[in-house]
Structure 1
């Protein structure tokens, strides 16, 4: 099985690369660099796409074209929503959706015309992840903004009352995978909660703890695939 892993930021990439055996950097004709090797005994290719929906979509498409994976996994951080997913909890996206999309009066908010409202992770993949302790399964909502205030979070929760986490890439990667017919799931560790104390400070200090919870879940999933 060939597994593609996408992260957005250098900080995330630097935490992930030490977990890859026989890791080598590969430059492709499309201008992206990948890191190929073995993780939990499986063939993997890792890329850093950059922050935001456009970077995520372009990176996902390029990685799929270059590596032809059997599954794409997005790993990284996300904001909490004041739900049961707290700081350092891991949210596995059983569904992902956009929170900043509206195609007009005849369309549902959050849905791109011609696309599903929710991009769902394969049930057989979700079944391999143990939901216990710090691991939660639920909805991740994506948009091109760092959500840092309670008012914006409240708006998102009017669209998706059960949203567990917010990020800037998952839905865009999921849409590309949907178009290309490649299974996808997102695994995110909660770094901060908008509206609770100083969430920007929470996010900054989060990296001081070098959290590896999301990679623990990622490794367990890859072992089980």
Structure 2
């Protein structure tokens, strides 16, 4: 593999990855960063912003601009089922776009990459630290899922283990360009420990409003700062492990000519 396009939701998630990669801004741009692994693989790291449509547009543009060999959806996700804990990873080549709550979480489209070895190879590169799980990830478009009952319903309806807001859009752009893709995301919330509701995230940066953060801390003066610091630390650790495993993963990825190997369900 000569080059890998790494898509991640927001600036706060991108920053530690850029630091670990020792990446530098691509000349003439503000968002994309470029780094080189020890095996000479070129890594282009780009923030997608929030939501599948935004992620699709950014990914499609980045593919046209940088012509990568491989696409990786990175960042955070939420666990839908028991057994996944905060700081565990979800690695998968099976994503499904689903409708909103008023649409009964209906299936919109399922994408599966035919390289069934990609997710296990990512997991094996982690060497059990942190723990990793392979299974379907669903992507929602409207807002994060905070309710444990909604998570349980989605998990049952779609045989899914995790949820995010970008991976379907990233995978869709990869499929349309004949590129292999995989998801490698870290769990930041579970049914028993939901994410703090900090308000609507900025669609471009992925950041919640400062007023939402301030309100959360005021309402939770003891647990609030600890929870927010825990999330910050989790993202730093995720970036370290992500960059650590990329050389082994890219060495083992056999990339052929553009192909139509992804299954659409």
Runs (5+) with no aligned partner, structure 2: 197-223, 251-265
Distance 1:149 1:101 in 2: 13
TM-score w.r.t. the length of structure 1 is: 0.82
**CA displacement at 1:44 relative to structure 2:** 1.0
**CA displacement at 1:14 relative to structure 2:** 0.9
TM-score w.r.t. the length of structure 2 is: 0.71
Map 1:80-119 onto structure 2 (within 5 A): 80-100=79-99, 109-112=106-109, 117-119=110-112
1:223 aligned partner:
248
2:201 aligned partner:
none
Distance 1:69 1:8 in 2: 19
The answer as to 2:121 corresponding to 1:128 is: yes
1:51 aligned partner:
50
Map 1:62-211 onto structure 2 (within 5 A): 62-100=61-99, 109-112=106-109, 117-120=110-113, 122-129=115-122, 130=124, 132=128, 134-144=131-141, 145-161=143-159, 163-194=160-191, 196-200=192-196, 204-211=228-235
Q: Greater share of strand residues, 1 or 2?
A: 1
CA RMSD of aligned residues (A): 2.6
Whether the 8 Å contact between 1:191 and 1:203 is mirrored in structure 2 is no
1:6 aligned partner:
7
Q: Secondary structure at the match of 1:46?
A: strand
Distance 2:83 2:195 in 1: 17
Map 1:9-24 onto structure 2 (within 5 A): 9-21=10-22, 23-24=24-25
Structure of higher CA gyration radius: 2
Q: Sort the Cα spacing of 1:87 and 1:9 in 2 relative to 1 into closer, same or farther, 3 A.
A: same
